[in-house]
Structure 1
Amino acid sequence: MNITVFCSAYSLDERYTTPAAEFARLLGEGGHTLVWGGSHAGLMGLLADGVKEAGGRLVGISVDLLAHKSYEGADELVMTRDLAERKGQLLARADAVVVLVGGLGTLDEVTEVLELKKHALHDKPVVVLDTEGFYSGLRTQLQRMDAEGFLPRPLAELITFAATPAEALDHLKEN
């Protein structure tokens, strides 16, 4: 399975890196392909290293303005002109999407993927690995949108929140 992962390019505390490393190991051992932002920096680099060490394949989708942060050991590295094209490629190459902890870029990516799914422009599973309750605010906001009629599809059809790396991967295998 080609699994696109959105996550931070910053170095983070071990409470975030440990679950990410576990997810990377499970992904690689399962023979899956990591499709990610193509960076060697921070959580992105840790994820790519872990997948590669565990026998998985790496497809990086980077952007010209971040070429200097490209991961050198990727099996395939695609350079895009801008962030919009990058997001399109990340989704196009995905069989599923997993969201790890991240900042504004990660939030932008996941909301775009959900908006496209809401309009039935894809039906790929989207799973958030909610490490340390990092996305509890997002979950609350999405639940409110669902309860108050802002979503044309039930929230459960758009996104799943997982507590552990194994739970996230299990959900993808089931869908």
Structure 2
Amino acid sequence: MHICVFCSAAELDAVYTDAAREFAELIGSRGHTLVWGGSDVGLMKVVADGVQKAGGRLVGVSVEFLQSKARANADEMVVTASLAERKAQLLERADAFVIMVGGTGTLDEATEILELKKHGLHAKPVVLLNTSGYYDGLRAQLARMDAEGFLPLPLGDLVAFADDGAQALGLLESW
């Protein structure tokens, strides 16, 4: 399975890096391919390192203005002209999505992938990896959207939540 991971390129606390490394090693050891933003810094690097160390394949999709931060030893690296093209390539190359901790870029990617799924433009599984309750607020907001009729399909059909990497991968593999 080609698993797209959205996450931060920032250097983060061990609570996040340890969880990311554990999840990445599961991806690689189970023979899956990581599809990611191609960056070789921060949490993105941690994930790519873990997948590669465990024998998984790396497919990066970078963007021209970030090309200097792209991972040199990825199995495949695509460089797009814009962020919109990057997101389109990530969607095309992935069989499933996992949203890990991140900032506004990660949130942008997450909401776009959920919006496309909401409109039936893809049916790929999406899991929010809720490390240390990072996405508790988003989970509550999405539940409210669902309860008040803002979502045209049940929240459980749109996205699943996982507390750790093993649960996230289990959800994807059983989808």
The bucket for the TM-score relative to the shorter chain is over 0.9
Q: Which residue of 2 aligns with 1:79?
A: 79
Number of the residue aligned with 1:112: 112
Q: Which runs of 4+ in 1 moved over 3 A?
A: none
Q: Which residue of 2 aligns with 1:13?
A: 13
Could you tell me which residue of structure 1 aligns to residue 166 of structure 2? 166
Write the letter of the residue equivalent to 2:152. P
Provide the TM-score with structure 1 as the length reference. 0.99
Amino acid corresponding to residue 3 of structure 1 in structure 2 = I
Question: In structure 2, what is the equivalent of residue 24 of structure 1?
Answer: 24
Count of residue pairs the alignment pairs up: 175
In the other structure, the counterpart of 1:59 is 59
RMSD over aligned Cα, in angstroms? 0.4
Instruction: Give the secondary structure class of the aligned counterpart of 1:25.
Output: helix
1:23 is displaced (CA, Å) by 0.3
How much does 1:26 deviate?
A: 0.2
The amino acid that maps onto 1:173 is E
Letter in 2 for 1:45: K
Matched AA of 1:150: F
CA distance in 2, matches of 1:9, 1:164: 20
What is the letter of the counterpart of residue 118 of structure 2? K
Task: Say whether residues 1:36 and 2:36 are aligned partners.
Answer: yes
Deviations 1:141-163 (A, max 9, x none): 10000000000000000000001
Q: Which residue of 2 aligns with 1:134?
A: 134
Distance (whole Å) between structure 1 residues aligned to residue 148 and residue 55 of structure 2 = 45
- Tell me how far 1:109 sits from its aligned partner: 0.3
Q: Provide structure 2 residue ranges, at least 5 long, that are not aligned to the other structure.
A: none
- SS of the residue corresponding to residue 45 of structure 1 reads helix
Give the Cα separation in 2 of the matches to 1:155 and 1:129.
15
Output aligned runs, 1:87-126, within 5 Å.
87-126=87-126
Quote how far apart the aligned CAs of 1:47 are: 0.5
CA distance in 2 between partners of 1:24 and 1:151 (Å): 31
The aligned residue for residue 148 of structure 2 is 148
* Matched residue type, 2:161: F
Secondary structure in 2 aligned to 1:137?
A: helix
- Aligned residue for 2:40, secondary structure, equals coil
1:73 positional shift:
1.1
CA distance in 1, matches of 2:152, 2:50: 38
Task: Tell me the CA shift for residue 56 of structure 1.
Answer: 0.1
TM-score if structure 2 supplies the norm length? 0.99
Tell me how far apart the structure 2 counterparts of residues 80 and 164 of structure 1 sit (CA, whole Å): 31
Query: Aligned to 1:51, what secondary structure does the other structure show?
Result: helix
Q: Which runs of 5+ in 1 are unaligned?
A: none
